[in-house]
Structure formats: structure tokens, C-alpha cells
Homo-oligomer: A and B are copies of this chain.
Amino acid sequence: MRAVIFDGRLRFLKVFPEPEIPSGWALIRVLKTGICKTDIEITRGYKNFKGVLGHEFVGVVEQCHDPDWVQKRVVGEINVGCGECEQCANELERHCPRRRVLGIVDLNGCMADYCVLPLSNLHAVPVSMVDHRAVLVEPLSAACEILEQLELTGSEQAVVLGDGRLGILCAWVLSTVLSDVTLIGHHPEKLEKGGWRTLKTAQISANRSDGADIVVEATGSGKGLVDAMSLCRPRGKIVLKSTVVSKSKMNLSSIVVNEQTLIGSRCGRFKTGLRMMESYPDMPLGRLISADYPIEQALEAFKQTTQPDTLKIVLDMTI
């Protein structure tokens, strides 16, 4: 099969062995797969991952022990837990210390004609949902995680820093429960695409003297956290979405002096993401997709992903 792999170098391979199917797992034919910031980070050494890249997909079950699933269109949770620890028992496979993660930790990903996942990781995609929405379930679920972590009353003022894919999704998700949300970024074109419902967008944050109740940091840079601390009110909450809060120098004294709470936030439950998509059919997810590329042009697609005006790039296996 065709596959995009990283083995120290990003490569497109025309011929790569099809995956074996462990008992209880499904073989999935991939239709579309999204390129994520994490994929780019992996090509820079993140997690020391070697293998087939990719963890965002929509596909069709080709083979598995349960005939009900065969030929179903599916999306798949990316964390495969050990099934034995406390985290797994609490449906928190995404925090299992021995988890494997599709295309990220110890498990070949979905940038290929086929991938495999446990049947228990799969969710059927509603017939009415187009592939271009379904392929965004993973990042939308990650954005929805914020709602699970914050106890919002509805009257909070929120600011989202970062006009990339994840920042926009976080702002949209917050807009479904809060009336006062501002998305702040540097790119006018992205900000324009970010506009939805009552969401406000701004290139520079108005320096509020009182500070926002909630600040979501989704810029992907260390500087973003510094801005978040200064935009957040005393005793306010900062949601940290950027995994690339790397080894930069940082003065965290504002967290202590202003008794702010910093909440790390990563993957979310697909059930929540799918429900959000169905509840808000007007959520303009299609706007986030900058382009579809055939898998043969994966290297070009990766390059395009790092361009400042790009939102989501999708590899389409059917073109």
C-alpha cells in the first residue's frame, strides 16, 4: 500500500506492507487524513516516533470480526490503552501510561491506504456527515475537551490566543456556551475565516485592565503563555493547548501572584466532538480546510502546512 512515513526523514512510499490485524481490531481503508501540527513536530523529532504518520482520518472498515462494522464509515480514537490500569478503567485511555497512539507512539498511523485500530476505538460516522467534516472530528474533540475541563456558567468572558486550526476550533466550541469570546491572532485571513456566531476577532488584544475570566493559549509558542498570563484576570483560568511549550525561558510568577490556574488540555472524546458537529450543522468546519492533496504529494502538503496562511491540509486517498 501507499504510505507517508518518517524514519528520520519524511518520505512517501509507493509500496509499504499492509498492517497485520490483531484480534479485536479492524482494518480500515482510509478516505481522508488531516495533517496536524503534531505531525510536523514528529518530523522534527517529537516523541522519537518512527513509522507511518497520521492520526486524523475518516475511513471505511474493510475487515474485522464483527460483521456489523464491515463497510461502515468510521472515525477512530487515537489512543490505545493497556486495558488494565486505572486510567483505562475510567475510560481515560488517553492517559494510560502504557498507551500506544496512532501515528504518534508505537503504532503506525493513518497516512496510508490502510490502518488498524481496536474496534472499541471506532465511531460510526452519521450518513449525513460529509468526509470533510468527519476528518476534523479529532481536532474538534480536542477543542471540546475544554468544555469538559472548565465548569462554565455561561457568563464568563473568554479570549482565545492563536488563529490556527486549533485556536479557531477552541473559539467556536467556546462560542456555543459563552456569548463573550474573542479570538486573537496575527493573520487577517485566518481571523476572517474564524468568524462565527457572536465570536469577535482581533489582531491585537485590547489591554483589559480587569482581565478575562478564561484565556485559551493555542498559539503553539512560549510567548503565547506569557501573553495569556497578562490577559487573564486574578484567579482566572488559562487553558494550555500548545504541546510545543518548549524549553524557552519563562517567568511564571504571575501564576502565583495572581493565583491563576493553568489547565493543560489535550485530546478529547470523539463522542463529544461528533455530538458537537451534529448539534451545530452551521459550524463552518469546511472553511478550515485550505486544500486537499493526493497522498503522492504528501511532501508538498507537509510543506504547505507550515505556511503562515494555511489552516488544515488534507490528504485525500481517493484522488
Residues of A within 8 A of B (CB): 86-87, 92, 95, 97, 145, 149, 209-210, 225, 234-235, 240-266
Q: A249 touching B249 by the CB < 8 A rule?
A: yes
| Besides A244-B253, A255-B262, 4 other A-B contacts (C-beta < 8 A) | A97-B210, A259-B264, A259-B266, A262-B262
Would B92 and A235 count as touching, CB distance under 8 A? yes
A252's partner among B209, B225, B235, B256 (CB-CB below 8 A) is B225
**Nearest Cβ distance between residue A220 and chain B, in whole angstroms?**
11
Some 23 contacts from A to B, beta carbons below 8 A apart, are A92-B234, A95-B234, A95-B259, A97-B234, A241-B256, A243-B256, A243-B257, A245-B251, A245-B252, A245-B256, A246-B251, A246-B253, A247-B250, A247-B251, A248-B249, A250-B252, A255-B262, A255-B264, A256-B266, A257-B266, A259-B263, A261-B262, A261-B264
Q: How far is the CB of A180 from chain B (nearest CB, A)?
A: 16
Closest B residue to A229 by beta carbon equals: B264
Cα–Cα, bound, A248→B243 (Å): 19
B-chain residues with CB within 8 Å of residue A259 when the two chains form the complex: 95, 145, 149, 263-266
Tell me which residues across on chain B come within 8 A of A265, comparing CB atoms. 256, 259
CB closest chain-B residue, reference A217: B256
Cα distance A66–B15 when bound, in Å?
A: 89
User: Chain B nearest CB: distance from A38 CB in Å?
Assistant: 11
**A103 CB to nearest chain B CB (Å):** 16
Q: Which residues of B contact A261 (CB under 8 A)?
A: 261-264
Decide: A240 and B255 in contact? CB cutoff 8 A: yes
Provide the residues of chain B in CB contact with A145, threshold 8 Å. Answer: 259
Q: Which chain B residue has the least Cβ–Cβ distance from A249?
A: B247
Neighbouring B residues of A234 by C-beta, 8 Å:
87, 92, 95, 97
Q: Which residues of B contact A240 (CB under 8 A)?
A: 252, 255-256
Q: How far is the CB of A254 from chain B (nearest CB, A)?
A: 8
In the complex, chain B residues whose CB is within 8 Å of the CB of A92? 234-235
Q: Which one of B95, B97, B210, B250 lies within 8 Å of A86 (CB-CB)?
A: B210
A286 to B301, CA, bound (A): 67
Most B CB within 10 A of own CB, among A86, A255, A260, A264: A264
Residues of B within 8 A of A249 (CB): 247-250
**Residues from chain B with Cβ under 8 Å of A262 in the complex:** 255, 261-264
- Chain B CB count within 10 A is highest, among A92, A249, A250, A258, for A250
Q: Which residue of chain B has its CB nearest to the CB of A90?
A: B235
Residues of B within 8 A of A244 (CB): 253
A252 to B264, alpha carbons, bound, how many Å?
Answer: 9
Instruction: Give every chain B residue within 8 A of A254 (Cβ-Cβ).
Output: 264
Alpha-carbon distance between A206 and B252 when the two chains are bound, in angstroms: 27
**How many Å from the CB of A217 to the closest CB on chain B?**
10
A242 engages B256 (CB within 8 Å): yes
Shortest Cβ distance from residue A267 to the other chain B in the assembled complex, whole angstroms: 9
Alpha-carbon separation in the docked complex, A250 to B49 (Å): 23
- Interface centre among A234, A241, A256, by most chain B C-beta atoms within 10 angstroms, is A256
A251 to B248, CA, bound (A): 7
